[in-house]
Amino acid sequence: MDKRSMSEIVFRIVQSYRLAMRSSLNAGEIGLNAMHVRCLSLIDKSDVCTANDIVTALARDKAQIARLIKEMIERNWLTKVANPEDKRSQLLSLTEEGRALAKSIAETQIKVMKKMQENLTAAQLNEFSKTADLMAANLEKFNR
């Protein structure tokens, strides 16, 4: 397989996944984008989460995450309170609306993944997972 067709395959998978998630979540109607999804999911899975935790986990710059958090607070998806362990940071938590949205995201991810895995054997999925992990690790080394 030539390099061009590999990148086209990766792009096609990513684009198809993104469109399936957007469509299932009615993302356009509620102003939800991929960074919102990643951030809400991260906070939902964390016992304690700060903006710096998101910066580290998503490998984004502090200013971008600060803008994202501000926007999600304005949309009533998040709240922040002083961190009792570190006065320089604030703890992020989901509001009731944010928890409902995170739950919808998690359910949609399961639905989309099931669709994506149709007609594939366990062996194929396992091999794909190993290959994709190796490719991601190669790129992570390249990006350092």
Q: How many domains does the chain have?
A: 1
Q: What is the pLDDT at residue 61?
A: 93
Percent of the chain at pLDDT > 70 equals: 97
Quote the crossing angle between the two packed helices 96-116 and 34-45, to the nearest 10°: 110
Contact 42, 92 (CB under 8 A): no
pTM of the predicted model, to two decimals?
0.82
Domain that holds residue 53: 3-142
Q: What is the pLDDT at residue 85?
A: 84
CATH value at residue 48: 1.10.10.10
For 31-51, write each residue's pLDDT tens digit: 888 899 999 999 999 989 999
Over the chain, what is the mean pLDDT?
A: 91
**HEC profile for the chain?**
CCHHHHHHHHHHHHHHHHHHHHHHHCHHHHCCCHHHHHHHHHHHHCCCCEHHHHHHHHCCCHHHHHHHHHHHHHCCCEEEEECCCCCCCEEEEECHHHHHHHHHHHHHHHHHHHHHCCCCCHHHHHHHHHHHHHHHHHHHHHCC
Percent of the chain at pLDDT > 90 equals: 73
Can you read off the two tokens belonging to residue 61? Answer: 């710059």
